[in-house]
Protein backbone atom coordinates (compact mmCIF):
# COMPACT_ATOMS: atom_id res chain seq x y z
CA UNK A 1 0.00 0.00 0.00
CA UNK A 2 1.17 3.52 -0.84
CA UNK A 3 0.62 5.79 2.18
CA UNK A 4 1.06 9.54 1.74
CA UNK A 5 1.34 11.57 4.97
CA UNK A 6 0.44 15.25 5.23
CA UNK A 7 2.44 17.02 7.94
CA UNK A 8 5.04 14.28 7.96
CA UNK A 9 7.82 16.20 9.74
CA UNK A 10 5.93 16.58 13.02
CA UNK A 11 7.05 14.25 15.81
CA UNK A 12 3.81 12.24 15.84
CA UNK A 13 3.32 12.03 12.08
CA UNK A 14 7.01 11.30 11.53
CA UNK A 15 6.59 8.42 13.95
CA UNK A 16 3.56 7.17 12.04
CA UNK A 17 5.64 7.32 8.86
CA UNK A 18 8.43 5.26 10.43
CA UNK A 19 5.94 2.65 11.63
CA UNK A 20 4.26 2.47 8.21
CA UNK A 21 7.63 1.94 6.54
CA UNK A 22 8.54 -0.76 9.06
CA UNK A 23 5.24 -2.50 8.27
CA UNK A 24 6.26 -2.74 4.63
CA UNK A 25 4.21 0.07 3.10
CA UNK A 26 5.50 2.49 0.51
CA UNK A 27 5.56 5.84 2.35
CA UNK A 28 5.79 9.37 1.03
CA UNK A 29 4.78 12.66 2.61
CA UNK A 30 4.82 16.41 2.62
CA UNK A 31 5.26 19.29 5.03
CA UNK A 32 5.42 23.05 4.88
CA UNK A 33 8.78 23.04 6.68
CA UNK A 34 11.14 20.22 5.78
CA UNK A 35 14.19 20.36 8.05
CA UNK A 36 16.50 18.16 10.15
CA UNK A 37 16.54 16.11 12.23
CA UNK A 38 13.17 14.62 11.25
CA UNK A 39 13.71 15.10 7.50
CA UNK A 40 17.04 13.26 7.71
CA UNK A 41 15.55 10.43 9.78
CA UNK A 42 12.73 9.94 7.28
CA UNK A 43 14.99 10.03 4.24
CA UNK A 44 17.26 7.47 5.90
CA UNK A 45 14.18 5.22 5.93
CA UNK A 46 13.75 5.71 2.18
CA UNK A 47 10.78 8.06 2.55
CA UNK A 48 10.46 10.77 -0.12
CA UNK A 49 9.35 14.14 1.25
CA UNK A 50 7.64 16.83 -0.79
CA UNK A 51 7.92 20.40 0.45
CA UNK A 52 4.63 22.29 0.45
CA UNK A 53 0.93 21.44 0.31
CA UNK A 54 0.16 21.77 -3.40
CA UNK A 55 -2.37 19.50 -5.11
CA UNK A 56 0.12 18.07 -7.63
CA UNK A 57 1.68 15.76 -5.03
CA UNK A 58 -1.46 13.60 -5.24
CA UNK A 59 -1.14 13.01 -8.98
CA UNK A 60 0.47 9.63 -8.21
CA UNK A 61 -2.83 8.79 -6.46
CA UNK A 62 -1.72 7.10 -3.23
CA UNK A 63 -3.90 4.36 -1.75
CA UNK A 64 -4.40 6.32 1.47
CA UNK A 65 -3.65 9.85 2.65
CA UNK A 66 -2.90 10.18 6.35
CA UNK A 67 -3.84 13.67 7.47
CA UNK A 68 -2.02 15.47 10.26
CA UNK A 69 -3.91 17.82 12.57
CA UNK A 70 -1.98 20.79 11.19
CA UNK A 71 -4.02 20.51 8.00
CA UNK A 72 -7.19 22.53 7.42
CA UNK A 73 -9.88 23.04 4.79
CA UNK A 74 -8.79 25.39 2.04
CA UNK A 75 -5.30 23.92 1.80
CA UNK A 76 -4.81 22.88 -1.86
CA UNK A 77 -3.74 19.30 -1.10
CA UNK A 78 -6.70 18.81 1.26
CA UNK A 79 -9.18 20.12 -1.29
CA UNK A 80 -7.66 17.92 -4.01
CA UNK A 81 -7.82 14.86 -1.72
CA UNK A 82 -11.52 15.44 -1.09
CA UNK A 83 -12.40 16.33 -4.69
CA UNK A 84 -10.65 13.24 -6.05
CA UNK A 85 -12.20 10.92 -3.49
CA UNK A 86 -8.87 9.56 -2.22
CA UNK A 87 -9.21 7.45 0.91
CA UNK A 88 -8.01 9.31 3.99
CA UNK A 89 -7.42 8.67 7.67
CA UNK A 90 -6.23 10.75 10.59
CA UNK A 91 -2.87 9.78 12.04
CA UNK A 92 -4.38 8.28 15.22
CA UNK A 93 -6.99 6.33 13.25
CA UNK A 94 -4.39 4.92 10.86
CA UNK A 95 -2.18 3.98 13.80
CA UNK A 96 -5.06 2.24 15.59
CA UNK A 97 -6.18 0.26 12.53
CA UNK A 98 -2.78 -0.73 11.18
CA UNK A 99 -0.44 -0.98 14.17
CA UNK A 100 -2.28 -1.09 17.48
CA UNK A 101 -5.02 -3.55 16.52
CA UNK A 102 -4.38 -6.84 18.31
CA UNK A 103 -1.72 -5.36 20.62
CA UNK A 104 -1.68 -4.88 24.37
CA UNK A 105 -1.61 -1.09 24.21
CA UNK A 106 -0.10 0.95 27.04
CA UNK A 107 -1.36 4.54 26.77
CA UNK A 108 0.23 7.29 28.87
CA UNK A 109 -1.99 10.36 29.23
CA UNK A 110 -2.06 13.56 31.27
CA UNK A 111 -0.99 17.19 31.10
CA UNK A 112 2.61 16.64 32.19
CA UNK A 113 5.13 13.82 32.06
CA UNK A 114 3.69 11.82 29.16
CA UNK A 115 6.91 11.67 27.15
CA UNK A 116 9.16 10.77 30.08
CA UNK A 117 6.77 8.18 31.53
CA UNK A 118 6.22 6.57 28.09
CA UNK A 119 9.99 6.43 27.57
CA UNK A 120 10.57 4.89 31.01
CA UNK A 121 7.85 2.30 30.39
CA UNK A 122 9.16 1.36 26.94
CA UNK A 123 12.66 0.95 28.38
CA UNK A 124 11.45 -1.20 31.31
CA UNK A 125 9.66 -3.52 28.85
CA UNK A 126 12.71 -3.59 26.58
CA UNK A 127 15.05 -4.35 29.49
CA UNK A 128 12.75 -7.24 30.43
CA UNK A 129 13.24 -8.70 26.93
CA UNK A 130 9.71 -7.94 25.72
CA UNK A 131 10.71 -5.91 22.60
CA UNK A 132 7.80 -3.42 22.69
CA UNK A 133 6.77 -1.14 19.89
CA UNK A 134 6.31 2.50 20.78
CA UNK A 135 5.34 5.93 19.52
CA UNK A 136 6.53 8.73 21.78
CA UNK A 137 6.45 12.51 21.43
CA UNK A 138 10.17 12.79 22.09
CA UNK A 139 13.34 10.76 21.64
CA UNK A 140 14.29 8.40 24.49
CA UNK A 141 18.08 8.31 24.73
CA UNK A 142 18.01 4.52 25.25
CA UNK A 143 16.47 4.03 21.80
CA UNK A 144 17.49 7.21 19.90
CA UNK A 145 14.26 7.07 17.88
CA UNK A 146 10.74 8.27 18.69
CA UNK A 147 8.94 5.29 17.13
CA UNK A 148 9.57 1.58 16.68
CA UNK A 149 7.40 -1.21 15.32
CA UNK A 150 8.44 -3.77 17.93
CA UNK A 151 8.64 -7.55 17.77
CA UNK A 152 5.89 -8.65 20.12
CA UNK A 153 2.33 -7.69 20.97
CA UNK A 154 3.14 -4.85 23.37
CA UNK A 155 2.94 -1.22 22.25
CA UNK A 156 3.51 1.98 24.26
CA UNK A 157 1.89 5.15 22.95
CA UNK A 158 2.06 8.67 24.32
CA UNK A 159 -1.63 9.51 24.44
CA UNK A 160 -2.16 13.16 23.58
CA UNK A 161 -5.47 14.94 24.23
CA UNK A 162 -5.01 17.38 21.33
CA UNK A 163 -7.63 17.12 18.58
CA UNK A 164 -7.25 14.49 15.88
CA UNK A 165 -7.81 16.13 12.46
CA UNK A 166 -9.87 18.80 10.71
CA UNK A 167 -12.60 16.17 10.20
CA UNK A 168 -12.33 14.59 13.67
CA UNK A 169 -12.34 16.95 16.65
CA UNK A 170 -12.11 14.22 19.27
CA UNK A 171 -8.92 13.85 21.29
CA UNK A 172 -6.29 11.67 19.64
CA UNK A 173 -6.28 9.17 22.47
CA UNK A 174 -9.85 7.94 21.94
CA UNK A 175 -8.55 5.92 18.98
CA UNK A 176 -5.97 3.89 20.89
CA UNK A 177 -8.14 1.48 22.95
CA UNK A 178 -5.52 0.86 25.67
CA UNK A 179 -5.52 -2.19 27.92
CA UNK A 180 -3.21 -0.43 30.39
CA UNK A 181 -3.79 3.29 30.87
CA UNK A 182 -1.58 5.67 32.87
CA UNK A 183 -3.12 8.95 34.04
CA UNK A 184 -0.30 11.16 35.29
CA UNK A 185 -2.15 14.38 36.15
CA UNK A 186 -4.73 16.75 34.70
CA UNK A 187 -4.69 20.55 34.38
CA UNK A 188 -6.18 23.06 32.00
CA UNK A 189 -4.19 23.37 28.78
CA UNK A 190 -4.73 23.66 25.00
CA UNK A 191 -6.87 26.79 25.33
CA UNK A 192 -6.98 27.00 21.54
CA UNK A 193 -8.93 23.72 21.51
CA UNK A 194 -10.80 23.45 24.83
CA UNK A 195 -12.88 26.20 26.43
CA UNK A 196 -12.28 25.06 30.02
CA UNK A 197 -11.15 22.18 32.22
CA UNK A 198 -14.58 20.53 32.03
CA UNK A 199 -14.19 20.17 28.27
CA UNK A 200 -10.88 18.37 28.79
CA UNK A 201 -12.37 16.17 31.50
CA UNK A 202 -15.09 15.13 29.05
CA UNK A 203 -12.48 13.97 26.53
CA UNK A 204 -10.64 12.00 29.22
CA UNK A 205 -13.97 10.48 30.23
CA UNK A 206 -14.37 9.19 26.66
CA UNK A 207 -10.92 7.62 26.98
CA UNK A 208 -11.92 5.79 30.16
CA UNK A 209 -14.95 4.39 28.33
CA UNK A 210 -12.61 2.57 25.92
CA UNK A 211 -10.53 0.69 28.53
CA UNK A 212 -11.76 -2.90 29.02
CA UNK A 213 -12.87 -4.22 32.37
CA UNK A 214 -10.03 -6.74 32.23
CA UNK A 215 -7.52 -3.93 31.81
CA UNK A 216 -5.76 -1.67 34.30
CA UNK A 217 -5.76 2.07 35.00
CA UNK A 218 -2.78 3.49 36.88
CA UNK A 219 -3.73 6.90 38.26
CA UNK A 220 -1.98 9.63 40.27
CA UNK A 221 -3.51 9.39 43.74
CA UNK A 222 -2.75 13.01 44.63
CA UNK A 223 -4.51 14.71 41.71
CA UNK A 224 -7.95 16.13 42.54
CA UNK A 225 -8.90 16.57 38.89
CA UNK A 226 -8.27 12.88 38.25
CA UNK A 227 -10.52 12.11 41.22
CA UNK A 228 -13.23 14.14 39.47
CA UNK A 229 -12.58 12.21 36.28
CA UNK A 230 -13.00 8.81 37.94
CA UNK A 231 -16.22 9.99 39.59
CA UNK A 232 -17.66 10.57 36.10
CA UNK A 233 -17.49 6.82 35.52
CA UNK A 234 -14.84 4.12 35.49
CA UNK A 235 -15.33 0.45 34.54
CA UNK A 236 -11.75 -0.78 34.94
CA UNK A 237 -9.73 -1.72 38.05
CA UNK A 238 -7.55 1.17 39.21
CA UNK A 239 -4.26 1.39 41.08
CA UNK A 240 -3.15 4.71 42.55
CA UNK A 241 0.44 5.84 42.69
CA UNK A 242 2.29 8.61 44.46
CA UNK A 243 5.53 9.89 45.91
CA UNK A 244 5.01 10.43 49.59
CA UNK A 245 1.22 10.71 49.40
CA UNK A 246 -1.64 8.28 49.23
CA UNK A 247 -1.56 5.41 46.80
CA UNK A 248 -1.23 1.67 46.25
CA UNK A 249 2.19 2.31 44.71
CA UNK A 250 4.67 4.57 46.51
CA UNK A 251 8.02 6.01 45.56
CA UNK A 252 10.59 7.82 47.64
CA UNK A 253 14.14 9.08 47.40
CA UNK A 254 16.41 6.74 49.34
CA UNK A 255 19.14 9.32 49.96
CA UNK A 256 19.42 13.07 50.61
CA UNK A 257 21.00 13.72 47.20
CA UNK A 258 17.98 12.13 45.49
CA UNK A 259 20.21 9.85 43.45
CA UNK A 260 18.62 6.62 44.71
CA UNK A 261 14.96 5.73 44.46
CA UNK A 262 12.77 3.11 46.08
CA UNK A 263 9.40 1.95 44.76
CA UNK A 264 6.96 -0.16 46.79
CA UNK A 265 4.08 -2.08 45.22
CA UNK A 266 0.64 -2.90 46.70
CA UNK A 267 1.79 -6.39 47.75
CA UNK A 268 4.70 -5.14 49.84
CA UNK A 269 7.37 -5.83 47.25
CA UNK A 270 9.95 -3.19 46.44
CA UNK A 271 12.90 -2.23 44.30
CA UNK A 272 15.77 0.19 44.88
CA UNK A 273 18.26 1.62 42.40
CA UNK A 274 20.52 4.54 41.59
CA UNK A 275 19.30 6.66 38.70
CA UNK A 276 20.27 9.61 36.53
CA UNK A 277 17.05 11.61 36.66
CA UNK A 278 16.10 14.51 38.93
CA UNK A 279 12.97 15.84 40.58
CA UNK A 280 9.95 14.59 42.49
CA UNK A 281 7.91 14.77 39.28
CA UNK A 282 10.24 12.26 37.62
CA UNK A 283 9.96 10.01 40.66
CA UNK A 284 6.18 10.04 40.13
CA UNK A 285 6.73 9.25 36.45
CA UNK A 286 8.94 6.34 37.45
CA UNK A 287 6.40 4.88 39.89
CA UNK A 288 3.69 5.09 37.21
CA UNK A 289 5.90 3.31 34.67
CA UNK A 290 6.82 0.55 37.13
CA UNK A 291 3.15 0.03 38.02
CA UNK A 292 2.12 -0.14 34.36
CA UNK A 293 4.85 -2.65 33.53
CA UNK A 294 3.61 -5.03 36.22
CA UNK A 295 0.32 -5.35 34.32
CA UNK A 296 2.23 -7.64 31.92
CA UNK A 297 4.24 -9.42 34.58
CA UNK A 298 7.41 -7.34 35.00
CA UNK A 299 8.33 -7.49 38.69
CA UNK A 300 8.76 -4.32 40.73
CA UNK A 301 12.40 -5.13 41.47
CA UNK A 302 13.22 -5.76 37.81
CA UNK A 303 11.43 -2.61 36.65
CA UNK A 304 13.20 -0.37 39.18
CA UNK A 305 16.53 -1.97 38.30
CA UNK A 306 15.88 -1.14 34.64
CA UNK A 307 15.47 2.52 35.59
CA UNK A 308 19.09 2.55 36.80
CA UNK A 309 19.98 2.25 33.10
CA UNK A 310 17.40 4.72 31.85
CA UNK A 311 19.25 7.58 30.14
CA UNK A 312 16.48 10.16 29.94
CA UNK A 313 14.75 11.86 27.05
CA UNK A 314 16.13 14.45 24.69
CA UNK A 315 14.81 17.94 25.45
CA UNK A 316 13.57 16.88 28.90
CA UNK A 317 16.04 18.51 31.28
CA UNK A 318 18.77 17.36 28.88
CA UNK A 319 22.25 18.62 29.69
CA UNK A 320 23.59 19.55 26.26
CA UNK A 321 26.94 21.19 27.05
CA UNK A 322 29.31 22.37 29.75
CA UNK A 323 31.43 25.44 29.01
CA UNK A 324 33.84 26.83 31.64
CA UNK A 325 31.82 25.05 34.37
CA UNK A 326 28.58 26.57 33.06
CA UNK A 327 26.06 23.76 32.60
CA UNK A 328 23.55 24.26 29.78
CA UNK A 329 20.24 22.37 29.71
CA UNK A 330 17.45 22.05 27.16
CA UNK A 331 13.93 21.51 28.53
CA UNK A 332 10.51 21.25 26.90
CA UNK A 333 8.75 22.97 29.84
CA UNK A 334 6.12 25.43 28.61
CA UNK A 335 3.33 25.22 31.21
CA UNK A 336 3.75 26.96 34.61
CA UNK A 337 3.57 23.66 36.49
CA UNK A 338 6.29 22.10 34.33
CA UNK A 339 8.46 25.22 34.60
CA UNK A 340 8.18 25.24 38.39
CA UNK A 341 8.96 21.52 38.62
CA UNK A 342 12.07 21.84 36.45
CA UNK A 343 13.39 24.74 38.52
CA UNK A 344 12.73 22.88 41.77
CA UNK A 345 14.42 19.71 40.49
CA UNK A 346 17.59 21.52 39.41
CA UNK A 347 17.69 23.41 42.70
CA UNK A 348 17.49 20.22 44.74
CA UNK A 349 19.90 18.25 42.55
CA UNK A 350 22.59 20.98 42.52
CA UNK A 351 22.20 23.08 45.68
CA UNK A 352 24.31 26.17 46.02
CA UNK A 353 24.68 26.78 42.28
CA UNK A 354 23.06 29.80 40.64
CA UNK A 355 20.08 28.88 38.46
CA UNK A 356 19.57 30.89 35.28
CA UNK A 357 16.45 30.40 33.15
CA UNK A 358 15.80 31.44 29.56
CA UNK A 359 12.12 30.99 28.70
CA UNK A 360 10.05 31.33 25.53
CA UNK A 361 6.26 31.46 26.09
CA UNK A 362 5.40 29.89 22.76
CA UNK A 363 2.33 27.68 23.28
CA UNK A 364 -1.09 28.83 22.08
CA UNK A 365 -2.39 28.58 25.65
CA UNK A 366 0.34 30.89 26.93
CA UNK A 367 -0.16 33.39 24.11
CA UNK A 368 -3.87 33.53 24.87
CA UNK A 369 -2.99 34.70 28.39
CA UNK A 370 -4.59 31.76 30.18
CA UNK A 371 -1.54 31.19 32.39
CA UNK A 372 -0.53 34.82 32.99
CA UNK A 373 -1.25 34.71 36.72
CA UNK A 374 0.84 31.57 37.29
CA UNK A 375 3.66 32.20 34.83
CA UNK A 376 5.53 34.74 36.94
CA UNK A 377 5.10 32.64 40.07
CA UNK A 378 6.52 29.59 38.33
CA UNK A 379 9.77 31.46 37.61
CA UNK A 380 10.21 32.83 41.14
CA UNK A 381 12.68 30.09 42.11
CA UNK A 382 15.23 31.12 39.47
CA UNK A 383 18.07 33.53 40.27
CA UNK A 384 17.91 35.24 36.88
CA UNK A 385 15.35 35.00 34.07
CA UNK A 386 15.84 35.91 30.42
CA UNK A 387 12.51 36.12 28.61
CA UNK A 388 11.91 36.02 24.88
CA UNK A 389 8.75 38.10 24.70
CA UNK A 390 6.55 37.44 21.66
CA UNK A 391 5.26 40.77 20.38
CA UNK A 392 1.62 39.69 20.56
CA UNK A 393 1.70 39.39 24.36
CA UNK A 394 -0.49 41.90 26.20
CA UNK A 395 0.10 44.34 29.05
CA UNK A 396 -1.52 41.80 31.41
CA UNK A 397 1.32 39.43 30.63
CA UNK A 398 3.89 42.06 31.57
CA UNK A 399 2.05 42.87 34.78
CA UNK A 400 2.08 39.24 35.81
CA UNK A 401 5.88 39.21 35.53
CA UNK A 402 6.39 42.46 37.47
CA UNK A 403 7.02 40.65 40.82
CA UNK A 404 10.19 39.15 39.33
CA UNK A 405 11.67 42.64 39.50
CA UNK A 406 15.31 43.05 38.56
CA UNK A 407 15.94 39.34 38.09
CA UNK A 408 13.92 39.51 34.81
CA UNK A 409 15.43 40.67 31.52
CA UNK A 410 13.06 40.74 28.53
CA UNK A 411 13.88 40.80 24.80
CA UNK A 412 11.96 40.44 21.54
CA UNK A 413 15.10 39.46 19.60
CA UNK A 414 16.91 36.14 20.07
CA UNK A 415 20.39 37.45 19.24
CA UNK A 416 20.13 40.36 21.67
CA UNK A 417 18.91 37.99 24.38
CA UNK A 418 21.88 35.66 23.88
CA UNK A 419 24.41 38.51 23.80
CA UNK A 420 23.03 39.90 27.04
CA UNK A 421 23.11 36.45 28.71
CA UNK A 422 26.67 35.71 27.66
CA UNK A 423 27.97 38.79 29.44
CA UNK A 424 26.36 37.95 32.78
CA UNK A 425 26.88 34.23 33.21
CA UNK A 426 29.34 33.01 35.83
CA UNK A 427 31.32 29.85 36.38
CA UNK A 428 29.14 27.35 38.22
CA UNK A 429 25.85 28.57 36.75
CA UNK A 430 23.12 26.17 35.67
CA UNK A 431 21.45 27.57 32.54
CA UNK A 432 18.19 26.02 31.34
CA UNK A 433 16.39 26.96 28.12
CA UNK A 434 12.65 26.30 28.35
CA UNK A 435 10.47 26.15 25.24
CA UNK A 436 8.23 23.77 23.32
CA UNK A 437 9.87 25.07 20.13
CA UNK A 438 13.36 25.79 18.90
CA UNK A 439 13.87 29.07 20.83
CA UNK A 440 15.35 30.55 17.66
CA UNK A 441 18.49 28.47 18.11
CA UNK A 442 19.38 30.60 21.16
CA UNK A 443 20.78 27.70 23.20
CA UNK A 444 23.11 26.62 20.41
CA UNK A 445 24.17 30.22 19.78
CA UNK A 446 24.94 30.80 23.45
CA UNK A 447 26.94 27.58 23.65
CA UNK A 448 29.05 28.54 20.63
CA UNK A 449 29.55 32.07 21.97
CA UNK A 450 30.72 30.83 25.37
CA UNK A 451 33.07 28.34 23.73
CA UNK A 452 34.71 31.17 21.78
CA UNK A 453 34.93 33.49 24.76
CA UNK A 454 35.76 31.12 27.61
CA UNK A 455 36.94 27.86 26.05
CA UNK A 456 35.05 24.59 26.03
CA UNK A 457 34.84 21.30 27.82
CA UNK A 458 33.12 18.34 26.11
CA UNK A 459 29.30 18.19 26.10
CA UNK A 460 27.88 16.54 29.21
As a whole number, mean pLDDT of residues 227-247 equals 92
**Confidence (pLDDT) at 366:** 63
**Confidence (pLDDT) at 51:** 93
Q: What confidence tens digit (pLDDT) does each residue in 8-67 have?
A: 998 899 999 999 999 999 999 999 987 667 778 888 889 999 999 999 999 999 999 999
Q: What confidence tens digit (pLDDT) does each residue in 433-457 have?
A: 988 778 888 899 999 999 988 765 5
As a whole number, mean pLDDT of residues 351-379 equals 79
**Confidence (pLDDT) at 364:** 64
Q: Which residue has the higher pLDDT, 41 or 165?
A: 165
**Confidence (pLDDT) at 452:** 87
Any idea which fold 2-91 has?
A: Rossmann fold (3.40.50)
Residue 416 has pLDDT above 60, yes or no: yes
**Confidence (pLDDT) at 369:** 59
Mean pLDDT score of the chain: 90
**Confidence (pLDDT) at 455:** 64
Weakest-pLDDT range from 98-107, 156-165, 231-240, 252-261: 252-261
Residue 390 has pLDDT above 70, yes or no: yes
* DSSP collapsed to 3 states, the chain: CEEEEECCCCHHHHHHHHHHHHCCCEEEEEECCCCCCHHHHHHHCCCEEEECCCHHHHCCCCCEEEECCCCCCCCHHHHHHHHCCCCEEEHHHHHHHHHHCCCEEEEEECCCCHHHHHHHHHHHHHHCCCCCEEECCCCECCCCCCEECCCCCEEEEECCCCEEECCEEEEHHHHCCCCEEEECCCCCCCCCCCCCHHHHHHHHHHHHCCCCCCCEEEEECCCHHHHHHHHCCCCCCEEEEECCCCCCEEEEECCCCCCEEEEECCCCCEEEEECCCCCHHHHHHHHHHHHHHHCCCCCHHHHHHHHCCCCCECCCCEEEEEECCEEEEEECCCCHHHHHHHHHHHHHHCCCCCEEEEECCCCHHHHCCCCHHHHHHHCCCCCEEEEECCCCCCHHHHHHHHHHHHHEEEECCHHHHHHHHHCCCCCCCEEEEECCCCHHHHHHHHHHHHHHHHCCECCC
**Confidence (pLDDT) at 189:** 78
Residue 315 has pLDDT above 80, yes or no: no
Q: Which residue has the higher pLDDT, 329 or 397?
A: 329
Q: What confidence tens digit (pLDDT) does each residue in 117-152 have?
A: 999 999 999 999 999 999 998 889 999 889 999 998
Residue 339 has pLDDT above 60, yes or no: yes
Percent of the chain with pLDDT over 90: 64
CATH 3.40.1190.10 fits 102-307, yes or no: yes
Q: Which residue has the higher pLDDT, 128 or 403?
A: 128
Give CATH for domain 318-454.
Answer: 3.90.190.20
**Confidence (pLDDT) at 262:** 96
- pLDDT interval class at 370 (50, 70, 90): low
- pLDDT interval class at 3 (50, 70, 90): very high
- pLDDT interval class at 401 (50, 70, 90): confident
Weakest-pLDDT range from 6-20, 92-106, 308-322, 388-402: 388-402
Sorted by where each begins, the domain ranges of the chain are 2-91, 102-307, 318-454
Residue 209 has pLDDT above 60, yes or no: yes
Weakest-pLDDT range from 188-192, 268-272, 392-396: 188-192
**Confidence (pLDDT) at 397:** 81
Q: What confidence tens digit (pLDDT) does each residue in 58-89 have?
A: 999 999 999 999 999 999 999 999 999 999 99
Amino acid sequence: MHVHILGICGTFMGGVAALAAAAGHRVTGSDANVYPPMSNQLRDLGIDIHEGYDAAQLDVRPDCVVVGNVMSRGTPVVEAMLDRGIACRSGPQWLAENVLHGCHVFAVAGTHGKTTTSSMLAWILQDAGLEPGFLIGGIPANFDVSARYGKGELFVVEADEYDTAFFDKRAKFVHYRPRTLVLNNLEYDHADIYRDLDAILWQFHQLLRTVPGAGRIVVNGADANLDRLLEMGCWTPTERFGAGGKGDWQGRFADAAEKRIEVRDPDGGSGTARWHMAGAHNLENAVAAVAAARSVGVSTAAAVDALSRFEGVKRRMERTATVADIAIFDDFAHHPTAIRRTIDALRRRNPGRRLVVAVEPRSNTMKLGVHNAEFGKSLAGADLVWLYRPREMTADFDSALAPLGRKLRSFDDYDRLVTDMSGQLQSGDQVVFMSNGGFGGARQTLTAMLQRIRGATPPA
